[in-house]
Amino acid sequence: MLLESYAATDTGPVREHNEDSWGADVDAGLFVVADGMGGHAAGEVASRLAVETVTEIMLEEEDPDETRLLLAVDDPADRIRERLRYAMNQSSVRIRKAVESNPGQAGMGTTLVVLLVEGSEAHLAHVGDSRIYLFRDGQLQRLTRDHTVVQQEVDAGRLTPELARTVPHKNILTKSVGYHGPVDPDATTRGVQHGDVFVLCSDGLTDPLPDSDIQTLCAEKHPEDLAQALVDAALVGGTEDNVTVVVVVVSED
């Protein structure tokens, strides 16, 4: 499959820093978005460390720890998902190490979503409330389930998805990279096909925009303009947060 990628990010009208980070390596098929948290610009450090760590580990040969970890894993897709989970855990380790040498950054952490497209398969892994969507055949599908208190309440039937968008505690995470220690990312594998458009984003996009608005823009915009159009729509929609979008377009060789 051939991949193209477009990204856009904006600090937004309120925050002093952009604590989101992103990475895109089209040749490797690796795409990452991280939304950092922590005072005094520590969120920036955490999200950047996470993107760097995942990129480094996934692009390099397996290290001895990984090889040991993967010894009993035969299925190629299982191996990739285990590597993604390992890379995300190493991000957590590096963030906590950074805090040890700079206690002013205590409490910093980040969300992390990773998409790895290899051949005809997409491997996804995530922690937190950054998301990956798939736009296919005119329909938008959310491929990740937020690790938030509110999502748990929706799953338990105590809150409707519509109401969940409005409650004040909607951004409280049940999982994050760094602050919470070892992480247990969700990881899945699915097939890709010609014309698929993946959208990776931070919650600065999805707080102001319902999925229906994101779907409309995916349908209307040329993929080349989509990332910037989504960020612009979030800003017009009144986001107070940093906004980051990475768009990945799949086509046949």
- Give the binding site for Ca ion (CB under 5 A): 35, 202-204, 241
Q: How far is the CB of 121 from Ca ion (least distance, A)?
A: 29
Nearer to Ca ion, 109 or 223 (CB): 109
Q: How far is the CB of 253 from Ca ion (least distance, A)?
A: 36
Nearer to Ca ion, 83 or 131 (CB): 131
Distance CA 81, CA 167 (A): 33
Residue 221's alpha-carbon distances to 9, 14, 175, 197, 233, in angstroms, are 17, 27, 33, 12, 12
Distance in Å from the first CA to the final CA of the chain: 5
3-state DSSP assignment of residue 39: coil
Nearer to Ca ion, 73 or 174 (CB): 174
Nearer to Ca ion, 44 or 241 (CB): 241
Distance CA 250, CA 247 (A): 10
Q: How far is the CB of 88 from Ca ion (least distance, A)?
A: 18
Q: How far is the CB of 224 from Ca ion (least distance, A)?
A: 25
Residues 6+ apart with CB under 8 A from 56: none
DSSP state of 231: H
3-state DSSP assignment of residue 233: helix
Q: How far is the CB of 204 from Ca ion (least distance, A)?
A: 5
Nearer to Ca ion, 110 or 189 (CB): 110
User: Is the C-alpha dihedral spanning 173, 55, 191, 27 positive or negative?
Assistant: positive
Supply φ then ψ for residue 187, to 5 degrees: -140, 135
Distance CA 99, CA 179 (A): 10
Nearer to Ca ion, 192 or 199 (CB): 199
Name residue 140's beta-bridge partners: 135
Q: How far is the CB of 7 from Ca ion (least distance, A)?
A: 16
Name residue 123's beta-bridge partners: 116, 189
